[in-house]
Structure 1
Amino acid sequence: MAVVRIPLLAVDGGGTKCLAVLVDRSRQEVGMGRSGSCNYQGIGEEAASRELIAAIAQALEDAKARNGLTTLSQHQTTEQVEWEVECAVFGLAGLDTVHDRQVICGMVENVLQSLNVNVRHLIVENDGFAALLGATGGKPGILVIAGTGSIAFGVNEKHQTARAGGWGHRVGDEGSGYWIGKQAIMAVLKDADGRGEKTILKELLLPYVGLTRVDELFNWTYSSHYSVDKVAELSPLVSQAANANDQVAQTILQVAGEELFLAVRAVMDQLEMKNKQFQMILQGGVLQNDERVRELVIERVNRYASQVVIENAQNAPIYGVIAKGLAYLDSQVDGK
């Protein structure tokens, strides 16, 4: 069995996709793989493991195809190779509690073992903290994410960290794409009952999910077609309705913005950053694509702490994961 040595394996696994990147000593990417969501809270441990395996295996095969690994024969498959990785960093969604850490670390170790990947130093952390590091370059800042889910992370000048929100689609994720989509479904049902205001959301949502009647929407929510990702896909329809002056849709987006601001404010207060200058990074489809939500968050934050510099995320979260691994590798060199 051939042995191939790789300095760094970086994995960014969120609620939408999983990205695995191999990096060499010159900090160049030598392999990349991509798969679907690997958030075990949303799809289960077994399915999350499959997605992790798919992304990492693809990255390993990509490294072989690029001919960057001269010790690997063109006729040897990934299964016939033992991979020696000096440092592996996993930034994974769903790592929110001590129990989550136990589950995810066990899952990661099993995934690596199944791929014949031996890791000398393993780092597993929440994907949000990795994204924060990538967005701020390690400087004080707050990252607010509103994509499929939502959360706010922060780090101050003392390198203390804090978070708010991100408690999952069942009991949290306020202001996220899923939350907005769920509110839209509820609004359609309330309208049909006569318990809520009239809204054009019915005319937008039903065709999108392939339905014709409101009562079918109820059945859809308890069918196999219902998923967190599918509900999050409804978020742009709420924006469309709001742009058509639908008051119900506008209220949903206003509350979404208020909830995201509350998460930012909570992190700011925990880290005593209100009177300090720092970056606030906006990331995720809701904040990047819905002007109403984005502008409301910006307006509320500026009113609360006017010295904050607000920017859209420039670096993808994977760069934060890579930066974490490179920092470890550099520390090992400096320590010799």
Structure 2
Amino acid sequence: MKIYLGLDGGGTKTDAAAVDSQGSVLARFTGGPSNPHAGTFNEATAELDRVVRGLLSSLPEKDIQPGGICLGMSGIDTSEERSLISMAVRSTLAEWPGELPVAVASEAQISLMAALGQEFGVQIISGTGSICYAFAPDGSHWRTGGWGHYLGDEGSGYSIGLRTLKAVMRSYDGVQPPTEITGIILEEYGFSRITELKSYIYKPERGKADIAAFAKVCLKAASGGDECAIRIVTEEAAALADTAAALLERLPAELRGRAVLTGSIFAHSPLFARTLRGKLLDRYPSLEFVDGTLAPPPSVGAALLARKWFGGPDA
């Protein structure tokens, strides 16, 4: 049986999927980080080897022939890195005859494939970070945002979380009115006083993800009607809408028809999604939105992309 493999490799985990020649998902397998900039290149390739072997061993049928693999890898930017990653994966699959086709795609391309069934389009992402991408059928691509938590990330979990923390302390000082966010933090983090937040946040081991985790507190308070939380969510959504609008302005008209919304903030905050859609529709009334949070995972998109690129005219 001919199968196609896809990997979504990131700084916290690597998700892999296999599909058959009809595009049906046969197996999934998850491993640790494979972003070479989150560790060493050898660690990344070792994890890729483990995940690919784990995926193949979990297939229900053993009489298989990989027809190609697509790697959606974060942190892989140069042609040299792509070549080294491809060689490492080919080594893992060397037991099969012939040279296995290997492609390295962007995170946006495999997500678009999962959501739209094609590797081109517009994607607006709001997770721990934020970024907007566009890919054209001829391979041309554009981006706005994605400059990290120091230089950008407006409309991200990190930005919402940081504003949430600051708002709570300004409320404690009496600069801002009381907010329901305070009580939620006390309950969820087990603090007896909100001033304990300082020692928690400034521990050396705290990182970007710890700050971004406070976004869920803000989203919860906003859904309960807290004015402070609603203001943070709507202002951050408007900021990301500005980033997306700057991207749309650069695009050829044929790419401005629809946008895929993906990421945990879209998944957990109808208010955030509604606000962003409204802001963009004010500028682009005919723009359609696709809820990418309901799409298959990006690893499946990567496998479907391998099938499309390497499976022949019927794939």
**Aligned twin of 1:135:** 115
Q: Give CA-to-partner distance per residue, 1:286-336, whole Å, 9 cap, x none.
A: 1132121111111111111111122212422233312321122135x79xx
Does residue 123 (structure 1) correspond to residue 103 (structure 2)? The answer is yes
**What is residue 81 of structure 1 aligned with on the other side?**
none
Residue in 2 that maps onto 1:258 = 238
2:264 equivalent to 1:285: yes
Q: 1:215 to 1:225 in 2, by over 3 A?
A: farther
Q: Deviations over 1:79-137 (max 9, x none)?
A: xxxxx854221112344x54xx6557646655765xx3346332223212221233223
User: Which residue does 1:311 correspond to in 2?
Assistant: 290
Q: 1:188 aligns with which of 168, 171, 179?
A: 168
Mapping of residues 207-246 of structure 1, within 5 Å: 207-223=187-203, 226-246=206-226
Question: Which residue pairs with 1:9 in the alignment?
Answer: 5
Question: Greater shift after overlay, 319-328 or 203-212?
Answer: 203-212
Q: Deviation string for 1:38-62 (max 9, x for gaps)?
A: 5555x44477566545533321220
**Hey, what's the Cα distance between the residues in 2 that align with 1:258 and 1:219?**
32
Taking the aligned partners of 1:88 and 1:172, their CA distance within structure 2 comes to 33
Aligned length: 307
| Structure 1 match to 2:71 | 90
Does the CA-based 8 Å contact 2:19-2:26 persist in structure 1?
yes
C-alpha RMSD of the superposition = 3.3
Uncovered stretches (5+) of structure 1, i.e. residues with no partner: 72-83
Partner secondary structure for residue 90 of structure 1: strand
Aligned counterpart, 1:166:
146
Question: What is the distance in 1 between the residues matched to 2:86 and 2:188?
Answer: 36
Q: Given the two structures, how large is their TM-score scaled by the length of structure 2?
A: 0.81
Q: State the secondary structure of the residue aligned to 2:151.
A: coil
Amino acid at match of 1:319: V
What is the Cα deviation at residue 237 of structure 1? Answer: 1.4
Following superposition of structure 1 onto structure 2, how do residues 44-55 of structure 1 map, counting pairs within 5 Å? Answer: 44-45=39-40, 52-55=48-51
Q: 1:218 to 1:36 in 2, by over 3 A?
A: farther
Instruction: Judge conservation of contact 1:142–1:264 (CA < 8 Å) in 2.
Output: no
Instruction: Output the CA distance in 1 between the equivalents of 2:308 and 2:31.
Output: 26
Counterpart code for 1:329: F
Give the alignment of 1:297-308 within 5 angstroms: 297-308=276-287
Same amino acid, percent of matched pairs: 23
The separation in 1 between residues aligned to 2:192 and 2:36, in whole angstroms, is 33
For residue 296 of structure 1, give the secondary structure of its aligned residue in structure 2. Answer: helix
Q: How does 1:147-166 map to 2 (within 5 A)?
A: 147-156=127-136, 160-166=140-146
Contact 1:21/1:33 (8 A) holds in 2:
yes
Secondary structure of the corresponding residue to residue 307 of structure 1: coil
Residue of structure 2 in register with 1:61 after alignment: 57
Q: Secondary structure at the match of 1:169?
A: helix
Q: Are 2:129 and 2:156, in contact at CA under 8 Å, matched by a contact in 1?
A: yes
Change (3 A) 1:30 1:138: closer
| Cα distance in 1 for residues equivalent to 2:224 and 2:14 | 35
Cα distance in structure 2, aligned partners of 1:277 and 1:290: 24
User: Contact 1:155 / 1:161 at 8 angstroms: preserved in 2?
Assistant: yes
In structure 2, give the amino acid aligned to 1:251.
R
**1:168 CA drift (Å):** 2.9
Q: Which residue of 2 aligns with 1:22?
A: 18
Deviations 1:170-191 (A, max 9, x none): 4332212232122212222333
